[in-house]
Amino acid sequence: MIKRYSRKELTDIWSEENKYKIWLDVEIAAAQAMEKLGQIPKGVSSVVRKKAKINVKRIHQIEGQVKHDVIAFLTSVTERAGIKARYLHQGMTSSDVLDTSFNIQLVQSGKIILKDLDQTLKVLKKQARKYKFTPCMGRSHGIHAEPITFGLKLASFYEEFKRNRKRLVYAIDEVSTCAISGAVGTFANINPNVEKHVAKKLNLKVEPISTQVIPRDRHAFYFSVLGIIAGSIERVATEIRHLQRTEVYELQEYFSKNQKGSSAMPHKKNPILSENLTGLARMVRSTVVPALENIALWHERDISHSSVERNIGPDANITIDFALVRLTNILDNMIVYPKKMLENLNLTKGLIFSQELMLELTKTGLTREKSYKKVQSYAKKCFAENLDLFYVIQSDKYIMSKISPKKLKLIFDYSKHFRNVNLIYKRVFK
C-alpha cells in the first residue's frame, strides 16, 4: 500500500523485517518442542535465539540464487547462528512456517483494527447523544420522506459498527490457528506435539486438520469482514457527501484555516476526505473476491493463493486501518448545521406530514384508498403552486368537519416523530 494511505503501526506488521521475525519465532518454538521430544540436540533453540539476526538484504541475495524464500531464510539464519541451526525445520514444510506466520500477521492487524473500531464507536456514541433530538429530514430515494433526528442517523451507524466489531472478533478467532503438520498434513515426519507446543507458545489454536496449508475459508471470512467494514465506512462517507451538497448543506467536513478547496474556485469547500474514504472502501472490497477464490486449491496445495495473499494481506489491513482512523476524525470534527436541517424540514411546506393526515382520514370513515387519493391530490396542488399543505387542508370542508383544528395542528407537529427516540436509543446504547 502507498504511504499516503498507511499508518506506521500497520505497515510495521507487514514489513519484511516483521515477517521474517515471525518466521524465526515459529522455527524456534518448533525447535523447542523437538528438543523436549529428543528429536534434535538440546540447546538448538537457545543458540538460534541468541545468535540469529534478521538480515532482509542477505535473505534476498540468497533467494536470488535458490529461488525459494523459506530456504533462503533458513540459510541466512544458519550463517548467523552457526551449525546448530541446521536442525531447524526438521520434518516441516514451508507452508507450516508461511501459514502460521501469515495468520499471526492477520491477528496482529486485526487487534489494531479492533482498537480503531472502538474509537469510531466512541465518537459515534458521543455525537449521537449530542444530536439525539436535533430534527432533520429523513429521505428515501433521495426524496424528503418524514422527519427523523440527526442523532438517529448516527445511532444507526453506531449499531452497524457494533456488528462489525463482533464480526471482526470472530474473524480474528477464525484465523488464530497454527499448522505444523508436514508436507500433506499427516504428521508423517513430525510429532503432533510440536504443533501443539508452537500453537501454545504463539497464542494460537491447533488447526484440527490441514493439508499442506491451513484451509483458506478462514482467511476468506476475515477478508470478507474487512470488506463489510469498508462498506459501512462508505455508507457513512456517502451520507456526509450528500449532506454537504450546496442544496442540502446540513453538515460539512472540518475545513482548516489555511486549507484550499478548488484550485480554480476559491469559494469551494469539498468533502474530499469522505470522497477519499469511498475510494479506499472500494479498494478493500476488491480484496474479498480473490480471498474467496483462494479457498479452492488443487488437492493438498498449490501456490495460486500465495501471490494473492502477498498483495491483499498488507493492502486490505493497512487500508482499512487508515480509513477507520480518518472516518473517526471526520465524525469527531464535523460541523453540523441544525438551523439548515430545520430549514430543509420545512422546504416542502408540510408535505412530509401526508401519511399522518391520510391515516387520520381513515379514522373518519374514508377508506385508505380514498384517503390516499385525497391527500395525494392536495400534495400535487401544493407542489405545483408552492402552497402550504396545512392551510390548503383548512379549505376542505369535509376534512375540517371530521378533524378538529387542534387535531390538525397535532398532525403537522414534529413531536410525534420523535416520541420513540428514547426507546430506540435504549436498544442501541445498552
C-alpha cell at 23: 518466521
DSSP H helices, 40-190, are 44-51, 56-66, 69-81, 94-130, 150-175
Instruction: Look up cell 462517507; give the residue.
Output: 237
Among candidate residues 300, 299, 290, 288, the one with its CA nearest the CA of residue 99: 300
How do beta strands 251-252 and 335-336 pair? antiparallel
Say which residues have a Cβ less than 8 Å from residue 310's Cβ, sequence separation at least 6.
none
Q: Rounded to whole angstroms, how far apart are CA atoms 175 and 285?
A: 19
C-alpha cell at 417: 416523530
Residue 32's identity, in one-letter code, is Q
C-alpha cell at 22: 515471525
Half-sphere exposure of 49 (CA within 13 A, CB side): 11
- Catalytic residue list: 141, 262
Among candidate residues 38, 106, 113, the one with its CA nearest the CA of residue 314: 106
How do beta strands 177-178 and 205-206 pair? parallel
Q: What is the dihedral of CA 413, 414, 417, 421, to 10 degrees?
A: -140
Q: Is the dihedral of CA 179, 183, 185, 189 positive or negative?
A: negative
Among candidate residues 258, 261, 252, 392, the one with its CA nearest the CA of residue 331: 252
CA angle 33/37/38 to nearest 5° reads 115
C-alpha cell at 28: 524456534
